[in-house]
């Protein structure tokens, strides 16, 4: 890879992949639970929860980054407690970049999983319960497999969204080489330098290729899973 990519490109690529992977790891369990609540339950605050979940789609990413600073910064509401109690800080770290990316990709993940849950034939679940299957067995043996293509699509959408995240990331964790400088931030950095057009184009093409590969892989895997499930 060192023969194909410059040190800046290789560093940004590896960091972007790490951040995107942890973005999915952080958000997927929460995303499945949230999608199930929104799809299957009606409760006071349902509309509010839905609005909060989908807010990052319409709120400027810089606002999300600022709110993360207020909440998780070294002097933030939660960040100060984490630092004083456990010595943990996420601001200006790649872990913080993963958190920012997870929040920005979360609505896409939840939407895909929720649509998949809505498409599950509830009569199959009801039939399993009448045959004595418990709630968790119905979930693991019927609901989860039928929802799997949507879960996969949501995970890949969040992964791809993370690869392109800029506003919340640069606001919350800044643009630190080797620590938080992902592909979009590296592209921004070279554009600020004289003669940065050529490396900027290479970074843009690299980002585009990554996104295309991720989405194409998601579609192929989802088709295979649907074929296996017969849906």
pLDDT band at 3, cuts 50/70/90? Answer: low
Q: Which CATH number fits domain 7-229: 1.10.3720.10, 3.50.50.60, 3.40.50.1000, 3.90.1170.50?
A: 1.10.3720.10
Per-residue model confidence (pLDDT) at position 99? 96
Each residue's pLDDT tens digit, 71-110:
999 899 999 999 999 999 999 999 999 999 999 999 999 9
In the structure, what pLDDT confidence band is assigned to residue 227 with cuts at 50, 70 and 90?
A: confident
Give 7's contacts (C-beta < 8 A, 6+ positions apart). none
How far, in Å, CA of 163 to CA of 21, rounded?
10
pLDDT in tens, 113-160: 999 999 888 888 889 888 888 888 989 888 998 898 889 889 988 998
Rounded to an integer, the average pLDDT of 206-229 is 80
CA 226 from centroid of its chain's CA atoms: 23
Q: State the residue for tokens 């790649």.
A: 94
Span 154-203, pLDDT tens digits: 998 899 899 999 999 999 999 999 899 999 999 999 999 888 889 999 99
**Helix spans in the chain (H):** 7-40, 46-54, 61-72, 79-86, 94-119, 122-130, 135-138, 144-163, 167-173, 183-191, 197-229
The radius of gyration computed from the CA coordinates of the chain, to the nearest angstrom, equals: 20
């Amino acid at each position: 890879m060192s023969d194909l990519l410059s040190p800046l490109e290789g560093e940004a690529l590896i960091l972007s992949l790490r951040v995107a992977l942890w973005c999915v790891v952080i958000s997927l369990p929460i995303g499945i639970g949230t999608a199930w609540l929104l799809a299957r339950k009606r409760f006071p605050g349902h509309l509010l929860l839905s609005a909060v979940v989908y807010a990052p789609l319409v709120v400027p990413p810089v606002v999300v980054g600022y709110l993360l600073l207020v909440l998780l910064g070294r002097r933030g509401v939660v960040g100060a407690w984490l630092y004083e109690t456990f010595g943990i800080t996420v601001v200006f770290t790649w872990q913080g970049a993963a958190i920012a990316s997870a929040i920005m990709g979360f609505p896409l993940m939840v939407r895909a999983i929720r649509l998949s849950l809505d498409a599950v034939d509830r009569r199959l679940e009801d039939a399993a319960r009448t045959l004595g299957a418990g709630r968790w067995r119905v979930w693991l043996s019927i609901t989860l497999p039928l929802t799997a293509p949507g879960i996969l699509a949501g995970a890949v959408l969040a992964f791809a969204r993370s690869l392109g995240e800029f506003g919340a990331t640069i606001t919350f964790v800044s643009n630190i080489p080797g620590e938080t400088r992902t592909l979009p931030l590296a592209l921004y950095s070279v554009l600020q330098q004289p003669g940065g057009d050529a490396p900027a184009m290479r970074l843009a093409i690299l980002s585009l290729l990554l996104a295309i590969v991720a989405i194409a892989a998601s579609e192929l895997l989802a088709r295979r899973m649907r074929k296996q499930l017969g849906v």
